[in-house]
């Protein structure tokens, strides 16, 4: 049967020109850079009430909603248009990086730790409620990207450091678009390999993803460098089945086999269980739990209480669930690998339910708080001497009827659970050669437990963080 050619966005009218335009990424970065500067200025000098400041409203309400929408509909558009890379790219015209990223840091351990730190700081310092701290966070991101990538060759900040980038790249495993080779046979006759080494003053892939061996969206920022560098116009933005890369067992360029990498497993664990933890921090039972801990241990330190919750949610719970499932899998199937090796093989199967939880959670705040941009806009215009007093600031309705939100969230959780079930089933049948299908049952129970937890969390009244009520 003849294979149907994949849809290529760069062959569509208008997008082809944009994709081949040398300054396409700069044109995408510039408005986001201007918006980031506006948020920094407003966060540091404007009203310190979160619902009235662009830093907190845009970052914690609108950006996160648009982010998940873009990831699920197109792909990693934020990394493509990342404003943090704009000063870095300009600096590299003057300062040429001299050093190579240390070999012992060429993994995801640091990124996983920084992602945990980000989640912890978000709760401990109430970043969602502080325009000033949100502005400082944005400035810190710019400074880190500039310092690291001005010192080290390639794009180590994106590949090994940036927590936001790791979040985006893990989520983009369910995206319907990927940067991929159009005709693999054409690459076999290419002698220059410009997509990876670059040509003239156009860099190749700075994340060291060799296109003919690249699999999926992991570690890909959709920067378009490989597209511009390829002299044969053989790389495009190709449509694919969302989640297809999570079934693939191929070695991945620049990554290897993720099924054999514990650092990737830890990153996926933090991402997936972090979705449940983030939602738990916004419902009333968390305060009851804090009160119980205070009564039992006579400790009122918020840092201590939050640390206990994080240890329970990101260490004890996943270790018990995944370790128990791996042990049962080994007993049922007779597979003799170490427990950590079994967990590594199955970990990617839990990404879909994690992505579904992040989407369902962020969608709630995005839909409820969408119109909060109006009072912020009115305040900014007033500071510029423009009177928009007619613009409403209270009594704003959700973007869609509120009764539709919970069914949508349940649909997302069910869809993510089904995808996780399919991937873990595929992994089970691959490992056991379809001899011990009952060995899938422990993983199915973990998925059911996670789906049940997600549905319960989403059914609870949730804090309207950064949103004016009434």
For 72-86, write each residue's pLDDT tens digit: 999 999 999 999 999
Report the alpha-carbon distance of residue 27 to residue 30 in Å, rounded.
6
Q: H/E/C letters for each residue in 342-381?
A: HHHHHHHHHHHHHHHHHHHHHHHHHHHHHHHHHHHHHHHH
Is 370 a member of any domain?
yes
Residues 240 and 380 reside in one and the same domain: no
Helix 109-124, helix 262-280: angle, nearest 10: 10
Residues 278 and 238 reside in one and the same domain: no
Calculate the dihedral angle through the C-alpha atoms of 346, 349, 353, 356, rounding to the nearest 10 degrees: 140
Is 252 a member of any domain?
no
Residues 18 and 113 reside in one and the same domain: yes
- The pLDDT, as a whole number, for residue 393 is 62
Is 310 a member of any domain?
yes
Residues 6+ apart with CB under 8 A from 364: 405, 409, 458, 462
Report the helix count and the strand count for the chain, using DSSP H and E: 22, 2
Residues 129 and 278 reside in one and the same domain: no
Report the alpha-carbon distance of residue 276 to residue 209 in Å, rounded.
32
Residues 290 and 326 reside in one and the same domain: yes
What beta strand segments (E) does 86-215 contain? Answer: 177-181
Residues 406 and 283 reside in one and the same domain: yes
Residues 324 and 345 reside in one and the same domain: yes
Is 280 a member of any domain?
yes
The CA-CA-CA angle for residues 317, 282, 63, to 5°, reads 105
Residues 265 and 239 reside in one and the same domain: no
Specify whether the CB–CB gap between 151 and 105 falls below 8 A.
Answer: no
- The pLDDT, as a whole number, for residue 401 is 85
Residues 51 and 22 reside in one and the same domain: yes
Candidates 427, 419, 421; CA nearest to 249 is 427
Predicted model pTM: 0.93
* pLDDT digit string, tens, across residues 115-145: 999 999 999 998 989 999 999 999 999 999 9
- What domain range includes position 377? 258-459
Query: At 223, is the secondary structure helix, strand, or coil?
Result: coil
Query: At 408, is the secondary structure helix, strand, or coil?
Result: helix
Q: Beta partners for 283?
A: 462
Whole-number Cα distances in Å, 404 to 60, 248, 397, 453: 22, 35, 13, 20
User: What would the two tokens of residue 355 be?
Assistant: 């992505």
Report the alpha-carbon distance of residue 44 to residue 143 in Å, rounded.
16
Is 464 a member of any domain?
no
Domain stops at, among 212, 246, 280: 246
- The pLDDT, as a whole number, for residue 151 is 94
pLDDT lower than 70: segments of the chain: 1-5, 388-396, 434-435, 464-470
CA atoms within a 13 Å half-sphere pointing along the CA-CB vector of 323: 6
- The pLDDT, as a whole number, for residue 372 is 83
Q: Which residues of 359-374 are buried (b: 16+ CB within 10 A; e: fewer)?
A: bbbbbbbbbbbbebeb
Domain stops at, among 226, 246, 266: 246
The CA-CA-CA angle for residues 240, 451, 278, to 5°, reads 90
Is 219 a member of any domain?
yes
Q: How many CB atoms lie within 10 A of CB 403?
A: 8
Measure CA 115 to chain center: 10
Is 253 a member of any domain?
no
The DSSP element (H or E) to which 235 belongs, if any, is strand 235-239
- The pLDDT, as a whole number, for residue 295 is 86
Residues 168 and 263 reside in one and the same domain: no
- Burial of residue 308 (number of CB atoms within 10 Å: 0-12, 13-18, 19+): middle
Domain stops at, among 246, 273, 307: 246
The structural domain count of the chain equals 2
Calculate the dihedral angle through the C-alpha atoms of 382, 385, 391, 394, rounding to the nearest 10 degrees: 20
| Length reported for the chain | 470
Residues 116 and 213 reside in one and the same domain: yes
Residues 238 and 319 reside in one and the same domain: no
- The pLDDT, as a whole number, for residue 2 is 39
Is 470 a member of any domain?
no
């Amino acid at each position: 049967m003849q294979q149907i050619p994949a849809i290529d966005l760069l062959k569509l009218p208008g997008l082809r020109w944009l994709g081949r335009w040398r300054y396409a990424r700069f044109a995408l970065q510039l408005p986001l850079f201007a918006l980031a500067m506006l948020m920094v200025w407003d966060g540091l000098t404007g009203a310190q009430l979160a619902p009235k400041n662009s830093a907190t409203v845009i970052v914690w309400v609108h950006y996160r909603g648009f982010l998940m929408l873009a990831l699920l509909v197109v792909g990693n558009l934020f990394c493509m248009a990342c404003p943090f890379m704009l000063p870095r790219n300009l600096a590299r015209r003057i300062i040429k990086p001299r050093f190579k990223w240390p070999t012992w840091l060429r993994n995801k351990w640091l990124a996983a730790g920084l992602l945990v730190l980000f989640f912890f700081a978000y709760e401990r310092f109430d970043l969602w409620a502080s325009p000033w701290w949100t502005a400082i966070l944005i400035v810190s991101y710019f400074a880190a990207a500039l310092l690291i990538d001005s010192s080290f060759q390639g794009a180590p900040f994106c590949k090994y450091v940036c927590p936001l980038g790791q979040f985006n790249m893990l989520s983009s495993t369910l995206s319907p678009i990927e940067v991929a080779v159009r005709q693999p046979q054409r690459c076999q006759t290419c002698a220059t390999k410009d997509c990876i080494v670059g040509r003239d003053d156009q860099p190749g892939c700075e994340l060291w993803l060799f296109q003919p061996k690249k699999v999926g969206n992991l570690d890909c920022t959709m920067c378009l460098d490989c597209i511009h560098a390829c002299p044969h116009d053989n790389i495009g933005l190709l449509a694919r089945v969302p989640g297809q890369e999570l079934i693939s067992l191929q070695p991945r360029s620049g990554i290897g086999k993720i099924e054999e990498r514990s650092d990737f497993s830890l990153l996926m664990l933090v991402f997936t269980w972090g979705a449940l933890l983030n939602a738990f921090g916004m419902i009333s039972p968390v305060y009851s739990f804090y009160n119980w801990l205070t009564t039992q241990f006579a400790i009122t330190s918020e840092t201590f209480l939050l640390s206990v919750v994080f240890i329970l949610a990101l260490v004890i719970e996943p270790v018990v669930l995944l370790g128990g499932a791996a042990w049962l899998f080994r007993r049922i199937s007779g597979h003799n690998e170490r427990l950590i090796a079994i967990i590594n093989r199955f970990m990617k199967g839990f990404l879909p339910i994690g992505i579904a939880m992040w989407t369902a959670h962020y969608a709630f705040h995005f839909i409820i708080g969408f119109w909060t941009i109006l009072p912020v806009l009115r305040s900014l215009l007033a500071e510029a001497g423009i009177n928009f007093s007619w613009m409403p600031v209270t009594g704003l309705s959700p973007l869609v009827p509120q009764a539709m939100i919970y069914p949508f969230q349940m649909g997302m959780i069910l869809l993510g659970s089904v995808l996780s079930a399919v991937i873990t089933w595929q992994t089970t049948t691959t490992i056991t050669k379809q001899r011990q299908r009952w060995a899938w049952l422990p993983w199915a129970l973990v998925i059911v437990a996670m789906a049940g937890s997600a549905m319960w969390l989403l059914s609870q009244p949730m804090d309207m963080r950064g949103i004016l009520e009434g």
